[in-house]
A and B are shown apart, each in its own frame.
Chain A
Amino acid sequence: MSTATPDTSPAPAEPAVQAPPPTPPRAQEPRYERLLILLRSPSFVVGALILLGWVVCAIAGTWIAPHDAYASDPLNSLLPPDHTHWFGTDQLGRDVCSRVIVGARDILTIAPLATLVGTVTGTALGLVVGYFGGWVDNVIGRAIDAVLALPLVIVALLALAAVGASDLTVILVIGITFMPITARTVRAAVFAERHLDYVAAAQLRGERAPYIMFAEILPNVLPPIIVEATVRLGYAIFSVATLSFLGFGIQPPSADWGLALSESYTLMAGGAWWTVVFDAAAIASLVVGVNLIADSVQGVIDR
């Protein structure tokens, strides 16, 4: 799956005597070595820098922003970019540049929290299903299939129309939708582990099932969980942005990018391109950045 893992580590000169091993023993590599590979991968570095930039904006946005992102100024609405307003002003006369900077905060709070909810609940479910197997596995497996038959945005629309959109409901709905997907990954990983000697040893010692699942198996299935979580984070950002754009996500007066686009995209026909271009670029850069990270992490852990 590593799309862009360039040959960072030049192949070490192989001793002529030794027969080439069928697969390089990457699994035994110490953890820091994996981290080194990651840090030498350009796509990881680029992704991490983009994400870092937006995280800084999310945390310190209000101090960095040149203007007050929420102060409307109707007399100066829809000004094209100039010296005072680098990205122009929106339909309420608010500074677009400041709003793009401050707009990182909500999505970078909600998407990671939703990912966390999905990862924690999905891991717990996957451990139980994978460890016990049998009918538990069958029943939950079917339920997971049913949830997966619906695209996330559509499940979310149904649920959010029913309970009303707020930050909390968006986090819960996305988190709960992620749960089965993560559970499926964890289940597969647990299946590979549960007949290994260390699990049998723990069972013979008389350890209880929860201890075996969470203290013995969990640490050994962490790599796929980490990969899944980074991939999920990308999807979460995608979904939160989409839902906000549709009016079922982050609510006004937030400076969120998706929300801003939904408020201003009708204005671009009138020539106010600056009200959409920068928000669109912000969303695109954030999702691409997070996915570059996810992709590199996956490449390093999987291979």
Chain B
Amino acid sequence: MSTTASPITRASTGNAARIAGFLATRAALALVTMWLLSVLVFAGGQLLPGDIGRAILGPLADARAVAALNHQLGADRPPLTQYVQWITHLLRGDLGESYAFRQPVAPFVGAALANSAKLGLLAFIVVVPLGIAGGVWAALHEGRWLDRTISIAGLSATVVPEFVSSIVLILVFGIWLRWLPIEATAPPDAGVLEQLRHLILPVLPLVFIFFGYIARMARAGTVEALDADYTRTAILKGLPAHVVIMRHVLRNALLPTITVAATQLGYMIGGLVVVETLFHYEGIGSLIFNAAKAKDFPMLEGGVLMVGIVYTVANFIADALHVALNPRLRTGGEE
């Protein structure tokens, strides 16, 4: 960590190589993680059910029908053979065929992912500035009632499950006040604004969940930066308060916040399961939920795997951002 010795004299080419090396290591680790993820998902979807045919057909089905289905699905072969076949197909972009739709899984997952990205991105655009503003504002009033109010409100918003906040929002804004539509999907001929209007209610529960996280990180970072020697020096130099805050405090405080924000992008998908199901939105979350309900394992595996990949990639990007934005971290050692 502490190789901060004269960063200025360090040759910039050496720096670039170091950054490249760091990113390469991170990328390799991300690949290993994704491979392990595939093992995990395979184990969960193919091995854990034990008897897939039985799981699909139910306890009352004829044993011969179960055996025939198992044979047809390839579930009667040794696990390793199954895994090798599964992963080679996967690498070619073939996620298998849905039990429920009798069609390849990949297009479903792709379309769902695009829809979810829309929802997630919208939530993200709203919550990141809001969370940062809330956190910084709280930090600047550290220990006073404003700080406590923001902190407690943020904590509460973060820990209440999405389905609870969604239901309350639907009840208040959709049913009592009738201000907003409670279906996330607008009619096909609707304009962009109308589509956005349909997305307001579904986005809010996601915003609630992440407001607390981001505000908390921003607050902690700002409090730390306000306390740092460089801030004291800047103040003692006689710089005006807004310059100190903008240049010295926020620059240092927001870096960890941005990293956390990027990591949360992947986690947001966990919340999408509930939100998309409740608001009838055809995204990756509702795809996973419906596949789990129907015991459509190829679909379920495809969806879950995609979530894991998105998360891992988001994490990698967060790491890269962290390095790119933080001159002190261009040494390769993190945490």
| Interface residues, chain A, with chain B CB atoms under 8 Å away | 1, 3-4, 6-7, 43, 142-143, 145-147, 149-155, 157-163, 234, 238, 241-242, 245-248, 258, 261, 265, 268-269, 271, 273, 276-277, 280, 283-284, 287-288, 290-292, 295
Contact = CB atoms under 8 A, between A and B. Distances in A.
Interface string B38-73: 011100110011000001000000000000000000
A40 B152 CA distance: 17
Contacts of A163: 48-49
Given A3-B148, A162-B44, A143 B159 contact: no
Interface residues of B, number: 61
B163 A149 contact: no
Contacts of A43: 152
A146 B33 contact: yes
B interface: dominant SS? helix
A160 B292 contact: yes
Contacts of B48: 159, 162-163
Residue among A150, A277, A287 with most chain B CB within 10 A: A150
26 contacts: A1-B220, A3-B152, A4-B151, A142-B32, A146-B34, A149-B37, A149-B266, A150-B308, A151-B270, A154-B304, A157-B273, A158-B41, A158-B45, A159-B48, A161-B297, A241-B164, A242-B161, A265-B170, A268-B171, A276-B167, A277-B168, A284-B160, A288-B155, A290-B159, A291-B159, A295-B155
Nearest to A146: B36
Interface string B141-157: 00100001001101110
A153 B34 CA distance: 19
B274 A276 contact: no
Given A149-B312, A150-B308, A280-B167, A157 B289 contact: yes
B319 interface: no
Given A149-B266, A265-B167, A161 B295 contact: yes
Nearest to B158: A291
A127 B33 CA distance: 22
B105 interface: no
Contacts of B163: 241-242, 245, 258, 261
B105 to A, nearest CB: 14
Nearest to B52: A162
A161 B155 contact: no
A4 B315 CA distance: 30
B288 to A, nearest CB: 6
Given A161-B291, A161-B297, 20 more contacts: A143-B36, A145-B29, A149-B33, A151-B270, A154-B269, A154-B270, A154-B307, A155-B44, A157-B273, A159-B48, A161-B49, A241-B164, A242-B161, A258-B161, A265-B167, A280-B168, A283-B160, A283-B164, A287-B159, A292-B152
Nearest 3 A/B pairs, CB to CB: A151-B270, A3-B151, A146-B36
Contacts of A271: 175
A206 to B, nearest CB: 35
Interface string B278-301: 100000000011011101010011
Contacts of B277: 246
A246 B40 contact: no
B267 interface: yes
A292 B153 CA distance: 11
Contact of A288 (B160, B297, B308): B160
A42 to B, nearest CB: 9
Contacts of B151: 3-4
Given A4-B151, A154-B269, A292-B155, A261 B274 contact: no
Contact of B55 (A3, A146, A162): A162
A7 B312 contact: no
B159 A288 contact: yes
